[in-house]
Amino acid sequence: MEAHKTITLLLVDDDITFVKIVQHHLQKFQGREFKLIWKERVEEALTEVRENKAIDIILTDYSLPGANGLEFCLQLNAMNSEIPIIFVTATRDFKLAVDAMKLGVEDFLVKEDISELLLPKTIINALEKHRTRRQMEAVEKRMLIAAKRAEAIRELVVTVCHEFNNPLAAIKISADLLSRQFPENEKKLLREFDKHFQKIEGEIKRLRDINFERLEVNG
């Protein structure tokens, strides 16, 4: 993340007291600035996500009017949202935490544990984790594309070498037969031919011996 970028946080919670606590905890933290967008209901939050592309992270409660936080996460996934999510709840429910993590939630907080230091640090860490994972996924995707490209080139090289080797072998046999029939003083042309022929064979061997593993890594 950029050092002084304002972090836009979408808070989904129907408890005004908790909203004020979040506002207070995010006022000052190591020079970081937070912009808080508050929505009480899942439907309102989903609309905000669709319309506001500046949202950096979502902080959602489990207990919400009309739907719970897990259902909210499911709907975000259905929208192909890539915004990182921090799940908050009033209880220490291990199963709920596991279920939330299975849906791709970055972190899980219990409301009574949230402090002036813990909340902003958790938000920043979640953003960093999300950014790092996205970078790793991009690298893996590039490596997969490079591997597929290298495999396609490998198959092409094998085909080309095969197509060249068969006629070249026939030509070499014919040249050898001719060389036996020519007198010594007339073999200069055949020797020149053999020199170029060996050069072609060498180029084909070089092509066949390309280090495709290196090509995949550097691709």
Report pLDDT digits (tens) over 124-168.
Answer: 999 999 898 888 877 888 888 877 877 777 777 777 776 776 666
Integer Cα distance of 32 and 26 in angstroms: 9
* Segment 3-19, tens digit of pLDDT: 568 999 999 999 999 99
Integer Cα distance of 130 and 105 in angstroms: 10
Integer Cα distance of 67 and 78 in angstroms: 15
Query: Does 79 have pLDDT greater than 70?
Result: yes
60 — phi, psi (to 5°)? -125, 140
**Confidence label for 86 from pLDDT (cuts 50, 70 and 90):** very high
* Segment 45-62, tens digit of pLDDT: 999 999 999 999 999 999
Dig out the tokens for 11 from the structure: 């808070």
Integer Cα distance of 42 and 142 in angstroms: 36
105 — phi, psi (to 5°)? -65, 135
pTM higher than 0.75 = no
Instruction: Based on DSSP, count helices (H) and strands (E) in the chain, helices before strands.
Output: 7, 7
- What local confidence, expressed as pLDDT, does residue 140 receive? 81
Straight-line distance from the first to the last Cα atom of the chain, in angstroms, rounded to the nearest whole number: 27
- What local confidence, expressed as pLDDT, does residue 154 receive? 76
Q: Which helix (H) or strand (E) holds 191?
A: helix 188-208
